[in-house]
Amino acid sequence: MNTFLSAEQEAVRQTYLTFANEQIAPIARDLESHKSCLKEFLQNLGQKGYLGIAVPREYGGQGLSFVFCALFAEAVGMVEPGLGLSLANHYAVIEVLKRYGTETQQSRYLPLLARGEALGTTAFSEEKAGTDFRAVTSTVTKQADGFVLNGKKTWVINGEFAGLALVLAGAGADENNQLSLLLVDCTDKAQKCSGDAGRLGLKSAYLNTVEFKDQKLSQEANISHAKDASDVIAMYSMDVAKVIMASAAVGLNFAAMNEALEHARTREQFGTPIGQFQGIQWKLADMGTEGEAARLHVMRAAWSLENEPESFSKNAAMCKWFAAKVARQHSGEALQVMGAAGLMEDNKVEKLYRDAKAMEICLGTSEAQKMQLVDLLEI
């Protein structure tokens, strides 16, 4: 029972779980190994409306609240957590456009993003600008009719096929801002993109280095805003992405728990199911309790985006750090419950454990969340 959710939200959540189980779970391994085409899969999600859950109806979306995006990400996280990365970046671009975009930017991009005809991504990191993302050295030069962008971005999710990237670069787009935040069409020929970077976890998303060489951008590309500086908007987009990643982490934790529970009920040692041993029972009790705590935290954060904006950033940092920790710790304990079987490459918990570790690093490390909290809580 979700004490937070209305009957309508709970009913929609059930449809998300059914969709994830029926349409994603059977191809999760193929998405992870790229045997199934992620681009086509995401476009299909767009056609079904899942990429435009919180896009206003007038722009072709479902017009639902951000909480539904979190519920969808949790359902997805139960079967293929790597998709959480693609969703996190995509929803982040949408929320930035909703809050900061001009009418022209919104009407041009939101319908494309809602339908999955363009996938959103964020390109902040550079070789020397990771946690210290404000240290970017990509350059923006102002011209009479727009801007020229140069620079190399690392760890760009789905950089090789995303349609629209939110790019953080050095000063140049706006006199009032120290940094520039730009909406960049990723299909431009002026870009050079590396192949997918192989890694430990969250492998279904593509991870590319994207190089911009004298890329011309129109005036409309500038999303820098008089209200907030570019780095504040960039941080807002990361906060949105973090809540989605944390939702996927909650789903991951419960998926690992379900596997461990099933194993504990059926695996016998010393003449009895191992679930009868207190040492195993307590692991499962911890997974359930901390998983629920993470879920409440994430729901609160998602709700606060629209209902308590002043605490959104704090909630986002807290829930990302906590949910990723819970997912990593308890998927590890779930693997322990499985014994040797859990270490095997075809075992779901082996995959969940790898994915969970990556969640503590991507979209800002756990240390970065605590640094943000030190600021926000004025410690």
| Residue ranges binding ligand FAD (CB under 6 A) | 85, 89, 121-125, 130-131, 155-157, 202, 207, 358, 361-365, 367-368, 371
Between 118 and 362, name the residue whose CB sits nearer to ligand FAD. 362
For residues 123 and 256, which CB has a smaller minimum distance to ligand FAD in the complex? 123
**CB of 126: closest distance to ligand FAD in angstroms?**
8
Using the minimum distance from each CB to ligand FAD, give the nearer residue, 122 or 313: 122
Closest-by-Cβ residue to ligand FAD is 130
Residue closer to ligand FAD, measured from CB, 92 or 326? 92
Structure letter (DSSP) for residue 27:
G
Residue closer to ligand FAD, measured from CB, 250 or 363: 363
Q: Report the nearest approach of ligand FAD to the CB of residue 231 (Å).
A: 13
Question: On the CB side of 306, how many CA atoms lie within 13 Å of its CA?
Answer: 14
For residue 6, the minimal CB distance to ligand FAD (Å) is 32
Query: Three-state SS for 194?
Result: coil
In 3D space, the residue among 334, 338, 355 whose CA is nearest the CA of residue 257 turns out to be 334
Q: Min. distance of Cβ 119 from ligand FAD in angstroms?
A: 12
Query: Under DSSP, is residue 339 helix (H, G, I), strand (E, B) or coil?
Result: coil
Q: How far is CA 255 from CA 184, 190, 334, 354, 355, in A?
A: 36, 42, 10, 14, 12
Q: How far is the CB of 137 from ligand FAD (least distance, A)?
A: 14
Spatial distance between the Cα atoms of 166 and 170, rounded to a whole number of angstroms:
13
Task: Pick the closest to residue 145 from 216, 215, 218, 214 (CA basis).
Answer: 218
Which residue's CB is nearer to ligand FAD, number 162 or number 326? 162
**Least separation in angstroms between CB 359 and ligand FAD:** 9
Q: Which is nearer to ligand FAD, 124 or 303 (CB)?
A: 124
d(CA 233, CA 96): 7
Rounded to an integer, what distance in angstroms lies between the CA atom of residue 321 and that of residue 370? 8
Nearest Cα neighbor of 169 from 221, 206, 204, 240 is 221
Q: Which residue has the tokens 């409306």?
A: 49
Smallest separation, CB 287 to ligand FAD (Å)? 24
Report the nearest approach of ligand FAD to the CB of residue 249 (Å).
13
How far is Cα 82 from Cα 206, in angstroms, rounded to an integer?
Answer: 9
β-bridge mates for residue 148, sequence order: 141, 216
Element (H, E) at 151: strand 146-157
The residue (of 280 and 356) whose beta carbon lies closer to ligand FAD is 356
Q: Which residues pair with 215 in a beta bridge?
A: 149
